[in-house]
A and B are shown apart, each in its own frame.
Chain A
Amino acid sequence: MRYAMAVDTKKCVGCSDCVVACQTENDVPIGYCRDWVVEVTDGTYPQLELEYRSERCNHCDNSPCVRCCPTGASHYGDGGIVKVEKHKCIGCGACVASCPYDARYGHPEGYVDKCTFCDHRVKQGQDPACVAVCPTKCMYFGDLDDPNSDVSQVVKKRKYKTLIPEAGTKPQLYFLI
């Protein structure tokens, strides 16, 4: 079982509903966010290109954050979801330094927090909050090991990219381009 998410950059309008849904669903402290929307403008007028990406923790297969955690607080959960066991976290910040995507942040209570692919919802067969709420339905989530899941199908059919592949992290957040 290998959970992954795909975001269709051609359909994302940058509304940031995914950001708000995540904050609501996961009781994220005010002013913090576990996911964010990046707007990319490329080229010189009139040859301009625009891309929107809803980014979050990439739940990497070869994640540096799990590797560098001295207490084992950062670990792989079911389906490869990277999670933080807050009662093991000492707040040293090593995982925050190791993430090339800046996906982690310091929770006010002291431990390090980040996107969890809403694993409490996934366990009950639902999609993460961001995927469920998207008004353009541009987000897909599922099991990459299941050839019939949404995400497997879309990754097979469309061209995609991942962020900073050269960092060797094997991210599981695919941006359809």
Chain B
Amino acid sequence: MREELIVSGRMNPMIDPQLHIWEWHIPAYLFLGGLAAGIMFFAGYFTIKGKEEQYPTATKLAPIFVPVLLVLGLLFLFLDLKHKLYFWRLYTAIKLESPMSWGAWTLMLVTPLSMVWAALNIKTLFPKWDWKFKVIDDALDIIKTYKTPMAWAMVILAVILGIYTGILLSAFNARPLWNTSILGPLFLTSGLSTGAAAVIVLSKSKKERHVFAKIDLLLIAIELFLIVHMFMGFRASTQVQIDAAAMFLGGQFTAPFWVLVVGFGLMIPATLEILELRNKKIPYMVAPVLVLVGGFAFRFIIAYAGQMSRWLY
């Protein structure tokens, strides 16, 4: 037997009795950021492919919500900071080795871009919208001619936005549960999946819903594949990662993760979507709402469980 204790006593904030640096703000932002990335990716992709008329929700309506999601997410990130008055320091340095720095600057680019895209398409949601200043109408007319480069920027920045949060967590090799290179792609896939689900929820076109159901089905399959391999990776790794995975394979997170995230968030929506594509009568809202709830639960569980995994004592 081996026992290690901090015999001088230590109860420091943020690290004792276990790491607790991040509360609900961070999983909430991870979800909103992933959702925004997913919506922006499809908006940009289908615009480049010239399918704006066939998929109006994906390319015009859903992106209107992205600035709201991003601003809300940024607000939550700001609220999480413990030294709030200095938040602007994020923008006085570009640290290429810090994923958090990449995120801060990516959001700095993505947020205005998403606002411009939403402004271009605002009449889809509010048909009687009037900018009231002719200069705005003129500016938007000019910007509209750059739609394709903007769509390319949206696609690229959406991928960075969707993947960097996973890379950020996976770079903390001190937290064994997060320290897997699968986490970045898994977060990106989950973000794209929630984006596709949001399009299905908002869409009034049966054809668009079917196409996005197929896309979502593919993304769910990829997510399941990544999740299984992530746990196989942990089981084949060092003792700290075996211990971290044990929280999900018999430990306290077993039921919440496999039932809520994998069962309700992935497998049930996938089954419903397969049945729907075989023309069985299923109310179309159920699957995407489950995907969205599952996506949120996934980020919550990973954020909290990761803080419980450790190397020491």
Contacts and interface: CB of A to CB of B under 8 A. Distances in A.
Interface of A: 14, 16, 19, 31-33, 36-44, 52, 64, 67-73, 86-94, 96-102, 104-106, 108-112, 164, 166-168
Contacts of A102: 15-16, 19, 310, 312
Interface of A is mostly: loop
Interface residues of B, number: 51
Given A36-B6, A43-B1, A97 B175 contact: yes
Nearest to B87: A90
Given A19-B8, A31-B11, A106-B13, A90 B83 contact: yes
B97 interface: yes
B8 A70 contact: no
B254 interface: no
A100 B83 contact: no
Contact of B174 (A33, A92, A98, A105): A98
A90 B1 contact: no
A52 B5 CA distance: 10
B202 interface: no
Given A71-B95, A73-B89, A89-B86, A40 B8 contact: no
Contacts of A90: 81-84, 86-87, 89-90
Interface of B is mostly: loop
A111 B84 CA distance: 9
Nearest to A85: B89
A70 B95 contact: yes
Nearest 10 Cβ contacts at the A-B interface: A91-B82, A93-B21, A91-B83, A110-B83, A105-B12, A100-B174, A70-B100, A39-B7, A70-B101, A37-B8
B89 A88 contact: yes
Contacts of B103: 70
11 contacts: A31-B11, A33-B10, A38-B7, A68-B171, A69-B98, A90-B82, A91-B83, A97-B175, A97-B307, A99-B174, A110-B82
Interface of B: 1-16, 19, 21-22, 80-87, 89-90, 92-93, 95, 97-101, 103-104, 168, 171-175, 238, 307, 310-313
Contacts of A67: 97-98
A66 B89 CA distance: 15
Given A16-B8, A70-B93, A71-B93, A89 B172 contact: no
A84 B49 CA distance: 49
A70 B6 contact: no
Contacts of A99: 174
A93 B95 contact: no
B92 to A, nearest CB: 7
Contacts of B101: 70-71
A27 to B, nearest CB: 15
Contacts of A108: 13
Given A14-B7, A88-B93, 8 more contacts: A16-B7, A64-B171, A64-B172, A69-B100, A71-B90, A110-B81, A110-B85, A164-B312
